[in-house]
Amino acid sequence: MPTNSAPASSNGQVKTTRNRTQRQPRQRQQPPTTNNQPPTTNKGPRVSDLFPTRWIHPDDLQGKTVNVFIEKVTIEKLWSAFDKEHVEKIVLWFHGKTKQLPLNVTQAQALVTITDTDFVMDWAGHGCRLRAATARNGKPTIEILTPLPANQAAAGDAVAADAASIAPDASAQASGAADLPDDEPVDELVESADDEIPELEYIDEEDANTLFGA
């Protein structure tokens, strides 16, 4: 009966061969999952958290119509994406609030109607209401509305009171929070017959020059 013999080497010794099995890569063990573990995805901070702004955004109003009192008006050179340069803008500062509102032509026109004057520095001391809206170009904007008489009187009394007792919360100032929403939902507002809400309309350059001076 024939037998299998191992091949002989050159020196006459028999070579022995050994079958080697290929080592499999080690698998990393996954930690056990439990219902108490936090989610593995983390979106991290928002851009608005990392780059706070001094300007009021429509989202700051939280879907409400907010009563404000104009404490100061300034003229500042701000960057205009439309003009591709810095242009002079009217900026409103509100009593007890931590953010300001730079005005476009539509908003300035509304304040001329509300205050009955086109001298912008005379707008200080007047009240108005702010409401989120959508401009004709589809972008979010802030609509400026006529104040309710009771709110105008209350705002004047608040300014006359001790400023320390009505200052905004310190934590809101530190975080840059707008401190804007109040307890006046839009659907609970009662407009008087002569309390016309100005339409959110844009005016052309000729009308703007006539209104504010070329």
Between 162 and 142, the more confident residue is: 142
The string of DSSP letters for 47-70 reads HHHHS--SB--GGGGTTB-EEEEE
Measure Cα distances from 171 to 67, 174, 209 in Å: 21, 5, 42
Q: Using one digit for the tens of pLDDT, what is the confidence trace for 110-120?
A: 999 999 999 99
Q: Using one digit for the tens of pLDDT, what is the confidence trace for 1-36?
A: 555 555 555 566 655 556 666 676 676 666 555 555
Asked whether residue 30 is assigned to any structural domain, the reply reads: no
Asked whether residue 193 is assigned to any structural domain, the reply reads: no
Asked whether residue 207 is assigned to any structural domain, the reply reads: no
CB 119 within 8 Å of CB 213: no
* Number of domains composing the chain: 1
Asked whether residue 112 is assigned to any structural domain, the reply reads: yes
Nearest to 182 by CA among 107, 97, 111: 97
CATH of the domain at 68: 2.40.50
Q: Is the pLDDT of residue 52 over 90?
A: no
142: helix, strand or coil: strand
Average pLDDT, integer, range 181-204: 42
Asked whether residue 125 is assigned to any structural domain, the reply reads: yes
> Looking at residue 193, what is its pLDDT?
33
Asked whether residue 143 is assigned to any structural domain, the reply reads: yes
Nearest to 133 by CA among 125, 121, 124, 141: 141
For the beta sheet containing 100-102, the strands, ordered from the edge strand earlier in sequence to the opposite edge, are 100-102, 85-94, 66-80, 127-134, 140-145
Q: Using one digit for the tens of pLDDT, what is the confidence trace for 87-105?
A: 999 999 999 999 999 999 9
Asked whether residue 188 is assigned to any structural domain, the reply reads: no
Owning domain of residue 146: 52-170
Asked whether residue 91 is assigned to any structural domain, the reply reads: yes
Residues 6+ apart with CB under 8 A from 188: none
> What percent of the chain shows pLDDT beyond 70?
50
Strand partners for 141: 133
Average pLDDT, integer, range 184-199: 39
pTM score above 0.75: no
Handedness of CA 183, 187, 193, 199 (dihedral sign): positive
